């Protein structure tokens, strides 16, 4: 495969024997090892460029019935959809894109949250006096925090110092 799966366009996907299968692979974060394992392919470890697995996924070699069932279970979809020769699209995107959209959004949000937490941890290391404030603030309920934030905003907008 010349392009990475993540780079495949809808037109690229249409050229494969099982375009929905490749669309599912593209939209998930499953490694080739996980995919091969669910197909029941032997060997405990496979590299991401494993030719045996990719040949099956791209339709160059036959997928056995047991392998097909394993893939359908992994992706949580009917075999008729997964092994259709027609790419299923909805509103200009693959059906797989929409199936995995919410999961990808959660992952993105988790990444943003993790970055924010690391930034806060860095600030706490650089400004230890904030740690005392945080110890107090975590004991407040939502109403107390909202009131405190509103007071800070009012001070800033009125030109007062914080």
Does residue 162 lie in a domain region?
no
Same domain as 63, residue 37: yes
Tokens of 32: 């080739």
Does residue 14 lie in a domain region?
yes
Tens digit of each residue's pLDDT (9 = 90 or more) over 36-88? 999 999 876 778 888 999 999 999 999 999 999 999 999 999 999 999 999 99
Domain span at 63: 5-96
| Final residue before a domain boundary, out of 96, 117, 137 | 96
CATH of the domain at 18: 1.10.260
Same domain as 78, residue 50: yes
> At residue 126, what are phi and psi to the nearest 5 degrees?
-80, -25
Does residue 143 lie in a domain region?
yes
pLDDT at res. 6: 87
Would you say 56 and 65 are in contact if contact means Cβ atoms under 8 Å apart? no
Same domain as 60, residue 41: yes
Q: Which residue has better confidence, 158 or 151?
A: 151
Strands (E), the chain: 89-90, 93-94
Same domain as 123, residue 47: no
DSSP helix, strand, coil percent of the chain (3-state; round to 5)? 65, 0, 35
Q: 128 by DSSP, 3-state: which?
A: coil
Same domain as 36, residue 114: no
The number of folded domains in the chain is: 2
User: Which residues pair with residue 94 across a beta bridge?
Assistant: 89
In this structure, what DSSP letter does residue 83 have? Answer: T
């Amino acid at each position: 495969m010349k392009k990475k799966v993540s780079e495949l366009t809808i037109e690229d996907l249409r050229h494969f024997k099982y375009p929905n299968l490749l669309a599912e692979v593209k939209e998930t974060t499953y490694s080739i090892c996980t995919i091969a394992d669910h197909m029941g392919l032997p060997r405990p470890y496979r590299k991401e460029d494993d030719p045996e697995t990719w040949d099956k996924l791209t339709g160059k070699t036959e997928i056995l019935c047991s392998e097909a069932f394993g893939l359908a279970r992994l992706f949580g979809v009917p075999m008729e959809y997964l092994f259709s020769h027609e790419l299923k699209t909805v509103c200009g995107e693959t059906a797989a894109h929409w199936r995995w959209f919410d999961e990808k959004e959660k992952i993105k949000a988790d990444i943003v949250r993790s970055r924010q937490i690391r930034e806060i941890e860095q600030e706490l290391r650089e400004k230890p006096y904030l740690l005392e404030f945080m110890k107090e603030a975590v004991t407040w309920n939502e109403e107390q925090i909202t009131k405190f934030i509103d007071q800070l905003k009012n001070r800033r907008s009125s030109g007062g110092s914080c």
